[in-house]
A and B are shown apart, each in its own frame.
Chain A
Amino acid sequence: MPFSHTWLPYIYLYGVGGLLFGSGLIITLKSGSLDLKRPGHKMWLAVLIFGFIWFMVMHALWNLAALAILNLKASLLIWTIFMIISLGFIYFGFIKKARS
């Protein structure tokens, strides 16, 4: 498999995408629309950063499994654990907090 089909798209996606995402965070924070002093906004900042990592991990594991560097079952297991953690994060961060 050529590098152009393995890790180059991944690096480009999260490199260029990461720059755009990071500038989004900086602009919204600097403009005050994402205001960490307001209720719930710290949580939102955490969700935004988590989302970026979530997709980055997902694609990395998928790449590793496709290239047979990591066993398919192991990749799925890690992914499932990550999914459970993220769902717990959403539950305790959004739903339970809102209820309490």
Chain B
Amino acid sequence: MEQVGEITFHSIGSSTVWIVMIAYFAVIMLFGSYFGRYTRSTTDFFFGGRRFSWWLITMSIVATGVGSHSFVKYSAKGFEHGLSSTMTYINDWFFVPFFLFGWLPIIVYSKVRSIPEYFEKRFSPSSRFIATILLLVYMIGYIGIGFLTLGKAMIPLLPESFALFGANLPVTLMGVITVIAVITGIYITFGGQTAVIFTDLLQGFILLFAGLLLFFVGITYLGGFETFWNILPKSFRMPLADFNHPPDFNFAGIFWQDGIAGSIGFLFMNQGLLMRFMACKSVNEGRKAAAINILFVLPISAIVVGNAGWIGRAISRISPETVSPLASPDQIFVVVASIVLSSPILFGFIMAALTAALMSTVDTLINATAAIFVNDVYRPIKGFLSKKVTSKKITERHELGVARIASMGITALGVLAVIPFNSFPTVYEAHGYFHSTLTPPLVVAIFLGVFWKRFTPAAVITTFLGGVALMLLGAQYPGVLIAPFDHGITLNPDHPYTYIRALYNLIVCAGVAVLTVWTTGLQHQFVKWVRRLPNTNMIMAMLTSTLSIIYTVVIVSFFIDFGTINLIFTLIVASIILLPLVVSYYVVGYDVETNTKGLTASSIQDARRFFKGSEPNDVEGEKVHVNYKLVEGEIDVIRFSKDDMKAMAANIGDLVYLCDKRKWLGGLKSIHSVYGEPHNENGIAYINDEQLKGGMFVEGKVLIAEKEL
């Protein structure tokens, strides 16, 4: 949907631009395909073998982050509101302690492959089921946002229509997106996570270079930084938006939508990002990658993605005939790039970098969603239907095939998800609405699951269902329910409280969670009482049916207005009271001590013990340079000399990381294993054939060994 009076563009750029773009994509795809050979199992396909250095992951995250918080949407807001378009990139630090020392070690040490799997371990299979549904909706929605942005970026370069076999075919947004989806799907399907990480690494560098190049060329075009600064009005120079005005871009709303829900969502439940951190060689490397990314790379990225909008606004103030103040915000990036970059080769390069960045985000998300599908849908269903035991190799090969087919299906669903998001004026608002609506239940559940030992299965399920029900009610009656939290933001009837609804949604989900935990004692008393009754099963069946009816009515009321908020609200409150009773009855065998061991922040030591299989060895040792020697054997151990083990302060059974010494490889050629019985050959590591293949070590190249745990 375009704003009234908005000017849109078509056919920007010459054939040279297209040639440069196609050449760029060919190079990137070849680069990714090369690293596809490092994919030997589903662990490699999804997690890249848990081998990479922090700097490699930091740079590969750039392409993922910059793509998702794209050039298009931040340039649009930069054009409309100035430098405050950067604020969403510079408000992520508040949750970093929770992430670095809570969630990150837990997901790595508990060896979960997906967020829903964590829910099963921490709570119950039913929690995993609901979390899977919510997470798949979130991820597919995210892919939809990515495709929408890609389509909007490409449209200005294309003609309004083209002739094919005598027919005049219009160029539509959905048509463009479908073509892009096919290209994206091909390479993610055959590459896997290692391919994604390496193409993202390359693109991370290119993106920063391309964005900064555009900034410097744009500034030069305007006559220098001071001129640019002085052209902008004061309100456009501010780093943060006005507190509560206008409804489509205000500080308070964006703080809660992006700084809180978005930041936790991005760090805690973006499976694509988590898989990057899980691809790091250790938890500490993951911490470094996250810290450096948020501290330094994100502020630079904020300039990289938003500057076209700022320059566009500055040009429109001094030369409105060059850039109209009414230019379509979502097209401003392409328009400014075409104006300030006189060379079609440079313009083609910038456009290729932009679209490649968006593709990086989308392919990461597709890969991540496929991981969730295989892990949380395919495996449980297969396990339920067939008890046939197959060898690990056959299972791996089969699952790899399933992952690839799933990637294709998810790509198709992502294209369909574009339709609802296209109704928003800009991608930024679509993304804001998406974040504030879909993240709160999962964000609250993950957060409390990790940091609150008393958070029970009954509480998490009630948070999911009761929280979502209250969120639906808030969406239907924003003037009544969200207004008390609106911080003075005006209600826009077309898109009511796009951002600040995140605060309401977080409060209702957290409120339901806390109330359910506080009444855990009462729930247990009820279960004890009802179990003593002669007709227990009938009572529970009636309660379950009542709940089903209530939730059906709530969902129907979202589509058909019953004209009364009181009835629906009363039903939801009733469901929030009944649901924990039913869950507490059916979820048996949950024990707070056993089920939270190694899965909450207060039991990280247990998690480390579980990860290693024995007591962690925290004695600091040195890194040792070795050459490998191939020996017979299938047991996954690496044997070092007694002196080398002493230098590493390692004992038999400790975990070891063996890596090619060349730092620029970033850990690509490396393996994890266990220390075996020592020998007497100093500087030599005994490895077997499988380990050699896994690490892809090169004969004669020195390796570095270090104790992991």
For chain A, what secondary structure do more than half of its interface residues adopt (helix, strand, loop), or is it mixed?
helix
Contact check, A13 vs B240: say whether CB atoms are below 8 A apart.
Answer: yes
Contact check, A90 vs B292: say whether CB atoms are below 8 A apart.
Answer: yes
List, in ascending order, chain B residues with CB within 8 A of A38's CB: 618
List, in ascending order, chain A residues with CB within 8 A of B251's CB: 8-9, 12-13
List, in ascending order, chain A residues with CB within 8 A of B98's CB: 24, 27-28
Contact check, A27 vs B284: say whether CB atoms are below 8 A apart.
Answer: no
List, in ascending order, chain B residues with CB within 8 A of A4's CB: 242-245
B171 to chain A, nearest CB (A): 40
Contact check, B601 vs A2: say whether CB atoms are below 8 A apart.
Answer: no
CA distance A40 to B83 in the complex (A): 37
Partner of A25, one of B90, B97, B240, B252: B97
Provide the B284-321 mask, 1 if CB < 8 A to any CB of A, else 0.
10011001101110010000000000000000000000
Nearest A-chain residue to B86, judged by Cβ: A62
Contact check, A28 vs B101: say whether CB atoms are below 8 A apart.
Answer: yes
Nearest A-chain residue to B295, judged by Cβ: A51
Contact check, B102 vs A5: say whether CB atoms are below 8 A apart.
Answer: no
B607 to chain A, nearest CB (A): 9
Contact check, B229 vs A72: say whether CB atoms are below 8 A apart.
Answer: yes
Contact check, B102 vs A1: say whether CB atoms are below 8 A apart.
Answer: no
A92 within 8 A of B: no
CA distance A51 to B296 in the complex (A): 10
CA distance A38 to B284 in the complex (A): 12
Contact check, B235 vs A21: say whether CB atoms are below 8 A apart.
Answer: no
List, in ascending order, chain B residues with CB within 8 A of A34's CB: 97, 101
Contact check, B101 vs A5: say whether CB atoms are below 8 A apart.
Answer: no
In the complex where A27-B601, A67-B234 touch, is A59 in contact with B94 (Cβ < 8 A)? no
A60 to chain B, nearest CB (A): 9
* Max chain A Cβ within 10 angstroms of own Cβ: one of B93, B101, B259, B618: B101
CA distance A65 to B95 in the complex (A): 28
Nearest B-chain residue to A52, judged by Cβ: B93
Contact check, B105 vs A33: say whether CB atoms are below 8 A apart.
Answer: yes
* Max chain B Cβ within 10 angstroms of own Cβ: one of A1, A13, A20, A33: A33
Partner of A32, one of B287, B295, B605: B605
B181 to chain A, nearest CB (A): 37
Contact-size category for B: 35 or more
Contact check, B601 vs A17: say whether CB atoms are below 8 A apart.
Answer: no
Provide the B258-288 mask, 1 if CB < 8 A to any CB of A, else 0.
0110000000000000000000000010011
Partner of A27, one of B244, B255, B451: B451
Contact check, B243 vs A55: say whether CB atoms are below 8 A apart.
Answer: no
Contact check, A31 vs B601: say whether CB atoms are below 8 A apart.
Answer: yes
List, in ascending order, chain B residues with CB within 8 A of A55's CB: 90-91, 93
B604 within 8 A of A: yes
Partner of A58, one of B100, B105, B299, B604: B299
B307 to chain A, nearest CB (A): 15
Nearest B-chain residue to A45, judged by Cβ: B97
In the complex where A21-B94, A28-B601, A51-B93 touch, is A13 in contact with B259 (Cβ < 8 A)? yes
Provide the B194-228 mask, 1 if CB < 8 A to any CB of A, else 0.
00000000000000000000000000000000100
Nearest B-chain residue to A4, judged by Cβ: B243
B643 within 8 A of A: no
A57 to chain B, nearest CB (A): 12
List, in ascending order, chain A residues with CB within 8 A of B601's CB: 27-28, 31, 33
B237 within 8 A of A: yes
List, in ascending order, chain B residues with CB within 8 A of A67's CB: 234, 238
B241 within 8 A of A: yes
CA distance A52 to B96 in the complex (A): 10
B239 within 8 A of A: yes
Contact check, B235 vs A86: say whether CB atoms are below 8 A apart.
Answer: no
A66 within 8 A of B: yes
B:445-479 near A, CB below 8 Å:
451
In the complex where A38-B618, A55-B90 touch, is A48 in contact with B96 (Cβ < 8 A)? yes
B602 within 8 A of A: yes
B620 within 8 A of A: yes
Contact check, A13 vs B91: say whether CB atoms are below 8 A apart.
Answer: yes
In the complex where A10-B240, A68-B234 touch, is A24 in contact with B295 (Cβ < 8 A)? no
Provide the B39-65 mask, 1 if CB < 8 A to any CB of A, else 0.
000000000000000000000000000
Contact check, A9 vs B243: say whether CB atoms are below 8 A apart.
Answer: yes
Contact check, B239 vs A33: say whether CB atoms are below 8 A apart.
Answer: no
Nearest B-chain residue to A20, judged by Cβ: B94
A46 to chain B, nearest CB (A): 11
A6 within 8 A of B: yes
Contact check, A33 vs B618: say whether CB atoms are below 8 A apart.
Answer: no
In the complex where A28-B101, A32-B604, A51-B93 touch, is A65 in contact with B237 (Cβ < 8 A)? yes
Contact check, B295 vs A63: say whether CB atoms are below 8 A apart.
Answer: no
Nearest A-chain residue to B241, judged by Cβ: A9
Contact check, A21 vs B97: say whether CB atoms are below 8 A apart.
Answer: yes
B257 to chain A, nearest CB (A): 14
Contact check, B242 vs A5: say whether CB atoms are below 8 A apart.
Answer: yes
Contact check, A51 vs B291: say whether CB atoms are below 8 A apart.
Answer: yes
Besides A9-B242, A33-B601, 4 more A-B contacts (Cβ < 8 Å) are A4-B245, A5-B241, A51-B96, A63-B238
| Nearest 5 A/B pairs, CB to CB | A24-B97, A66-B237, A9-B240, A9-B251, A31-B602
List chain B positions with a Cβ less than 8 A from chain A: 83, 90-91, 93-98, 100-102, 105, 226, 229, 234-235, 237-245, 251-252, 255, 259-260, 284, 287-288, 291-292, 294-296, 299, 451, 600-602, 604-605, 618, 620
**What are some 9 contacts across the A-B interface (CB < 8 A)?**
A20-B260, A31-B451, A32-B605, A33-B102, A48-B100, A52-B94, A63-B240, A66-B83, A66-B239
